Amino acid sequence: MNLKSINIPIKLKGSVFTTLVLYICSNNIPLINDALKKKVQESPNFFHNAPIILNLSLLPKNSNWIEIKKVVFSNGFSIIGISECNDLKLKNKILSSGLPIFSNTENFTHAQKEIKKKEIYKSILYNQTIRSGQTIYAKKSDLIVVNNANKGSELIADGNIHVYGQLSGRALAGAHGDNTRKIFCQYLKAELLSISGEYCLIDSIPKNVLNKAAQIYLKNNNIYIKKI
């Protein structure tokens, strides 16, 4: 049967999105507020209305969920869901507030380790410019762009990322947890750089490296940027 000939009102498909995960490690509301304000000030355009997932695995028991949610929203973030909430009472409060709770990440962490054991077996090549709003995902592969990646674009790879042009959008290598992966580009002007979940924003890129050929890698859970 040809599905194109049927009037289907919806279609459900898998996709790849990058979402920031905010770990709440304290129940001190003023302290959380100050930390969020400081983070937003680092890059207000990036964090304004940014969708986030709250990870509550480090949240102390008997915390005030209503105040925590309020302080996160008041700093301009949009909470799209909760992960790793182990407190049953808190879970019920969150669900009654209308937010979804995602499964714990044990299985995902195991999958990350399995991917690390496997060799990245191919590269995906793009010759055209990656436009604003466009997301390219190289699953279990390196991603090679022989052109520019415009501001507002997103490059994601389980392997390394190579951009033989200007990198102005976001680049996320080692997307499934491989912290040995790197990002290479000819002209660095990225909005966000991430390797294995660790990230830095354009405001944190040293000025002497901007618009230069560079490599980005992870060491001791910190992003390093080095001119080539």
| Residue 38 and residue 88 share a domain | yes
| Residue 205 and residue 161 share a domain | yes
| Residue 175 and residue 99 share a domain | no
Give the mean model confidence (pLDDT) for residues 176-197. Answer: 93
| Residue 83 and residue 29 share a domain | yes
| Residue 44 and residue 73 share a domain | yes
Residue 62 is predicted with a pLDDT of 85
Domain-terminating residue out of 82, 104, 126: 104
Q: By residue range, what is the domain housing residue 202?
A: 118-227
Give the mean model confidence (pLDDT) for residues 60-86. Answer: 90
Q: Which residues fall within 8 angstroms of residue 156, CB to CB, at 6 or more apart?
A: 16, 18, 135, 136, 137, 138, 143, 172, 175
DSSP tag of 219: E
**Distance between CA atoms of residues 117 and 208, nearest Å:** 36
Residue 21 is predicted with a pLDDT of 86
In this structure, of 11-15, 25-29, 165-169, the range with the lowest mean pLDDT score is 11-15
Q: What is the CATH number of the domain that holds 151?
A: 2.160.20.70
The answer to whether residue 158 is domain-embedded is yes
Q: What is the CATH number of the domain that holds 56?
A: 3.30.70.260
Domain-terminating residue out of 57, 75, 104: 104
Give the total number of structural domains in the chain: 2
Residue 107 is predicted with a pLDDT of 45
Residue 104 is predicted with a pLDDT of 55
Q: Note the pLDDT tens digit of each residue in 125-174.
A: 999 999 998 999 998 899 999 999 999 999 999 999 999 999 999 999 99
| Residue 130 and residue 60 share a domain | no
Domain-terminating residue out of 53, 76, 104: 104
| Residue 122 and residue 100 share a domain | no
Look at residue 4 and tell me whether its pLDDT is greater than 80.
no
The answer to whether residue 12 is domain-embedded is no
| Residue 51 and residue 127 share a domain | no
- Report helix angle 88-96 to 65-74, nearest 10: 50
Name the residue among 211, 133, 128 with its Cα closest to residue 167.
Answer: 211
| Residue 124 and residue 98 share a domain | no
| Residue 180 and residue 89 share a domain | no
In this structure, of 38-42, 164-168, 218-222, the range with the lowest mean pLDDT score is 38-42
Residue 2 is predicted with a pLDDT of 46
The pTM for the full model equals: 0.66
Q: Work out the pLDDT band at 61, boundaries 50, 70, 90.
A: confident
